[in-house]
Amino acid sequence: MSKFLLIFFFVFFPSVIGAQSAPKVRMAYTSINIQMTPIYIMKDLDLARKHGLDAEVVMIPVSSRALQAALAGEIQFMSSGAVANINANMSGGDSVGITSTISTFVFKIIGQSGIKEPGQLKGKRVAISRLGRASDFSLRYALDRWGLVPEKDVAIIQIGCVDLERDRRERFRQKVVRKLVRTL
């Protein structure tokens, strides 16, 4: 936790660093979507160096894996969905969420042409990337709002994260799933 606070002060109060050599930090982002835009801008404009940090920015494609790397000290901070952080802390982890880049869900649920209303999902399968990820949480939230019970009314199919968009589109095209959850 102290590492996260230290990085926070280096990022937001660069004058604290003074003439010292730039501290080396590793940070991760967990997906390619609009939510990560501040990270892309920071990297492209080399803003970390301009504010006194020698930052290595890496992509770790699953929030729970990135959080494991942070808890192991391999990275000092990350940008990801909050679900992994919450799940880790509920299991005894010690991580701190500092800020949010976006205050709404960044998912849309896409359905086969025959599905016009949420109630038509009853007895169908919906694809997500991984159980416990933001797509899972978002789908469960939507199903609850629509009066559907996850696992009872709608099967949630975990399809992985290797080439997520291609895999989800292919399963959708083959009608293995009737709806899928995608980031914007």
Tell me, yes or no, whether 123 and 81 share the same domain.
Answer: no
Tell me, yes or no, whether 112 and 160 share the same domain.
Answer: yes
Tell me, yes or no, whether 77 and 17 share the same domain.
Answer: yes
For position 145, what pLDDT does the model report? Answer: 94
Provide the residue range defining the domain that includes 159: 107-183
pLDDT tens readout for residues 115-152: 888 999 999 988 887 787 778 888 999 999 999 999 99
Task: Specify the number of domains making up the chain.
Answer: 2
Higher pLDDT, 167 or 62: 62
pLDDT tens readout for residues 4-23: 555 555 555 555 555 567 88
DSSP string across the chain: -HHHHHHHHHHH-GGGTTTSPPPEEEEEE---SGGGHHHHHHHHTTHHHHTT-EEEEEE-S-HHHHHHHHHTTS-SEEE--HHHHHHHHHTT--------S-SS--EEEEE-TT--SGGGGTT-EEEESSTTSHHHHHHHHHHHHTT--BTTTBEEEE--STTHHHHHHHHHHTTS-SEEEEE-
pLDDT tens readout for residues 101-117: 667 777 778 777 888 88
14-21: long-range contacts, CB 8 A cutoff, minimum separation 24: 14/51, 14/52, 14/53, 17/52, 20/52
For position 150, what pLDDT does the model report? Answer: 94
Tokens of 1: 């936790």
Tell me, yes or no, whether 117 and 171 share the same domain.
Answer: yes
Residue 155 near residue 126, CB atoms below 8 Å: yes
